[in-house]
Amino acid sequence: MVLKVSEVSGGLDRYHGEFEGTEGLLRASFPNFGESLVGGVTLRAKRSAVGAEPSTASCGSTLSVSSVLSTSPSKPSVMSSSSVFSKPIPILLQKKQSPYTEKSQFHTWIGAMRAQSPPLVHSQNGDTPDAFDLEASVYKSWLESHPSALTSFERVIKHSHKKQIVVFLDYDGTLSPIVEDPERAFMSAEMRATVKELATCFPTAVISGRSRPKVFEFVQLTELYYAGSHGMDIMGPAKSSDGYRVKGIKSRDKKGNDIVSFQPANEYLPLINKVYNALIESTKAIKGASVEHNKFCVTVHFRRVKEEYWESLAERVGCVLKDFPTLSLTHGRKVLEVRPSISWDKGKAVDFLLKSLGYKDTSDVIPLYLGDDKTDEDAFKMINATKHGCSILVSSVPKASDAMLSLQNPSEVMEFLCRLVQWKKWGLENRNNIQVDVFNFN
Ligand SMILES: O=P(O)(O)OC[C@H]1O[C@H](O[C@H]2O[C@H](CO)[C@@H](O)[C@H](O)[C@H]2O)[C@H](O)[C@@H](O)[C@@H]1O
């Protein structure tokens, strides 16, 4: 089966490409794509409709064949997985109608959630070795645009001479492995010890979708700065000595340090409590569904729900949201998240923390951000906009991402953080005035 795509519009970036494949697994490659693209798209024909992982870094939508119309503009027809096209055809996404009520919207959410947590293909799961090889080769080509931060360590520290490295860490999927039960997403003692040591070398912050107290309960390190609720609940240092006035409420921590707390969505608290209760009520009939109160946002978990009920669960979330026009919906790894419609995200939280640390001029600082999920993309963009920062996606499968580099899983994250600590300690003893970019740690 061959499907050549000459143009995609309607929410997706425009691109050219060619889908090819057999019944089990289809593959798309986009030779004309730039560096930031994943270098391959995997389509799975085994699902009810053929789903595609988003193929471009900036594309938030999922190209799902069931929700795509193939048009000659005058003669639209719905494409099916058995369609065969041998010459380029323009395709157009179905027009979105009222959000939160349209079936296609639920498919989009579900497709986007799947794309955030694509399954690994293992030959022992019944897939053919060919499928396994194909997956491996797609990952290999993806690595070309998101090289491993371990093998590119030199690139990370290249510009750090006389500059301050600041480390930002996401929690779930970055410091702790993804697990079925969100209450049991513990980080290992080794990871905790590594992060503790890291914080003695560099200012270190955890930026999580969880509520701040919850993420602190997991991490248990007082030496870090924390931003919970996707950055909407920040507790950081207040170093206004350089003249920059940090927003937020100033106070002192137990050690007598000046701290600042900032909660840009404070007035939404009553509404968030209300939507939490409504979501609990409306989703309780769906086996495996759970709702997590993350203080300034609410997470609906799909991970323990059978896929055949995902649409129904998404519909219920959509129904609840109709009554809350000032809240909006985002998606992550098998979760839908309801949050205030304010212009604040993990990227803005990173910027806030850098400023409150006294780095209003980003040329003095090398911010590193490690994260695995959709909401980390805002932080990646922010980091990329700084001159020498480094954005690192944690993923063992190809994903559309703005991150510059990648690490496969929390174990590699730990290895990378250890490497940073070693490099810092080695440097303190030996570096003196030697130019740092001559060292290669690989
Ligand atoms: O920003 P993060 O720290 O990555 O938080 C994002 C969400 O993480 C958690 O959910 C994810 O991890 C769970 C435990 O491994 C997993 O069961 C779930 O499927 C993942 O999406 C957390 O429970 C959410 O509240 C956070 O928003």
Please tell me the pTM assigned to this model: 0.75
Q: Mutation test of ligand 1: which of 169, 172, 331 has the most ligand atoms closer than 8 Å to its C-beta? A: 172
- The β-bridge relationship of strands 17-21 and 249-252 is unpaired
Give distance in angstroms: CA of 108 to centre of ligand 1: 20
Report DSSP state, residue 242.
Answer: G
CA of 119 to the centre of ligand 1 (A): 17
209 CA distance to ligand 1 centroid (A)?
7
Cα angle 382, 386, 392 (rounded to 5 degrees) comes to 60
For every residue of 369-406, DSSP letters joined together read EEE-STTHHHHHHHHHHSSS-EEEEE-SS------SEE
Residue 422, Cβ neighbours under 10 Å: how many?
A: 13
Read off the amino acid at residue 70: S
Residue type, position 3, single letter: L
Q: Which atom of ligand 1 is nearest to the CA of 184?
A: 14
Rounded to the nearest angstrom, the gap between the alpha carbon of residue 432 and the centroid of all alpha carbons in its chain is 38
Q: How far is CA 18 from CA 2, 59, 207, 431, in A?
A: 7, 17, 38, 51
Burial of 77 (0-12, 13-18, 19+ CB in 10 A): exposed
Q: What is the pLDDT of residues 336-379, one digit of tens each?
A: 999 999 999 999 999 999 988 888 777 889 999 999 999 999 99
Question: Which domains, and CATH codes, for the chain?
Answer: 2-144 (no CATH), 146-264+344-438 (3.40.50.1000), 267-340 (3.30.70.1020)
Task: Compute the distance between CA of residue 440 and CA of residue 428 in angstroms, rounded to an integer.
Answer: 16
Query: How crowded is residue 324: how many other Cβ atoms within 10 Å of its Cβ?
Result: 19
**Cα(89)–Cα(96) distance, integer angstroms:** 21
pLDDT in tens, 131-157: 667 778 888 889 999 999 999 999 888
Q: Is residue 396 packed enough to be buried (19+ CB in 10 Å), middle (13-18) or exposed (0-12)?
A: middle
221 CA distance to ligand 1 middle (Å): 19
Q: How far is the CA of 172 from the centre of ligand 1 (A)?
A: 5
User: Does residue 436 contact residue 212 with C-beta atoms inside 8 Å?
Assistant: no
Among 245, 196, 267, 270, which residue's Cα sits nearest to residue 418?
Answer: 196
Among 180, 335, 370, the mutation site with the greatest number of ligand 1 atoms within 8 A of its Cβ is 335
DSSP state of 121: P
186 CA distance to ligand 1 centroid (A)?
Answer: 11
Position 330, amino acid: T
Identify the H or E element spanning 321.
Answer: helix 310-321
- pLDDT tens per residue, the chain (442 residues)? 344 443 333 333 333 344 443 322 233 333 333 222 222 333 332 222 233 333 322 222 233 332 232 323 333 333 333 333 333 333 333 333 455 666 777 778 887 777 766 665 554 555 555 666 777 888 888 999 999 999 999 988 888 888 899 999 999 999 999 999 999 999 999 999 999 999 999 999 999 999 999 999 999 999 899 999 999 999 877 765 555 566 778 888 877 888 888 999 999 999 999 999 999 999 999 999 999 999 999 999 999 999 999 999 999 999 999 999 999 999 999 999 999 999 999 999 999 999 888 887 778 899 999 999 999 999 999 999 988 899 999 999 998 999 999 999 999 999 999 999 999 988 776 765 544 443 333 3
Which residue, judged by its Cα, is nearest atom 20 of ligand 1?
A: 333
Report the candidate in 8, 36, 9 with the shortest Cα–Cα distance to residue 381.
36
Amino acid at 441: F
For ligand 1, atom 14: residue with the closest CA: 182
